[in-house]
Amino acid sequence: MMTRATQTMLGWVAMGGAACCLVAAPAEPAPDFGEVFGLLRTHLKGIDADALNKAAVEGLLDQLHPKVTLLPARDPDTPATPAPSLRKSLLFDGAFGYFQFGPLAGDAGARLREAFDQLNATHPLKGVILDLRFAGGTDYGAAVAVADWFFAGSQPLADWGSGMKHSAVKDNALALPLAILVNTKTAGAAEVLAGVLRQGGIGLLLGSRTAGQASQFAEFTLRNGQRLRLAVQPVKLGRGRPISASGLRPDIHVAVRLADESRFLEDAYAPAAAGAPASAAAAAAGTAASQATNAGSRRINEAELIRRHRENRGPDDEREAGQEAGEPDAPVLQDPVLARALDLLKGLAVIRVKPPQSSPRE
d(Cα 155, Cα 157) in Å, to the nearest integer?
6
Helix axis angle for 315-324 and 302-310, nearest 10°, is: 90
Helix, strand, coil % over all residues of the chain, rounded to 5:
35, 15, 45
Handedness of CA 239, 106, 171, 248 (dihedral sign): negative
| Residues listed for the chain | 362
CB atoms within 10 A of CB 14: 10
Non-local CB neighbours of 75 within 8 Å, separated by 6+ positions:
none
pLDDT along the chain (362 residues), means of 10: 41 42 65 89 88 90 83 74 84 97 93 96 96 94 96 95 94 95 96 96 96 88 91 88 91 96 94 58 41 38 51 49 58 93 92 59 42
In terms of Cβ atoms closer than 10 Å to its own Cβ (0-12, 13-18, 19+), residue 233 is middle
Task: Name the DSSP letter for residue 312.
Answer: T
Distance, CA of 171 to CA of 157 (rounded, Å) = 18
pLDDT number for residue 290:
35
What distance in Å separates the CA atoms of residue 252 and residue 203, rounded to the nearest whole number?
Answer: 12
Compute, in degrees rounded to 10, the torsion defined by CA atoms 192, 194, 196, 202. Answer: 170
> What is the structure's pLDDT at 24?
53
Residue 289 to residue 299: CA distance in whole angstroms: 9
In the chain, where does the domain assigned CATH 3.90.226.10 lie? 86-214+234-253
CA separation for the pair 192, 129 (Å, rounded): 16
Identify which of 188, 215, 231, 177 has the alpha carbon closest to the alpha carbon of residue 348.
177
pLDDT of residue 291: 37
pTM over 0.85: no
**Model pLDDT, residue 80:** 59
Please identify, in words, the CATH class of the domain defined by 86-214+234-253.
Answer: alpha beta
SS3 per residue for 235-271: CEECCCCECCCCCCCCCEECCCCHHHHHHHHHCCCCC
Rounded to whole angstroms, how far apart are CA atoms 159 and 234?
A: 9
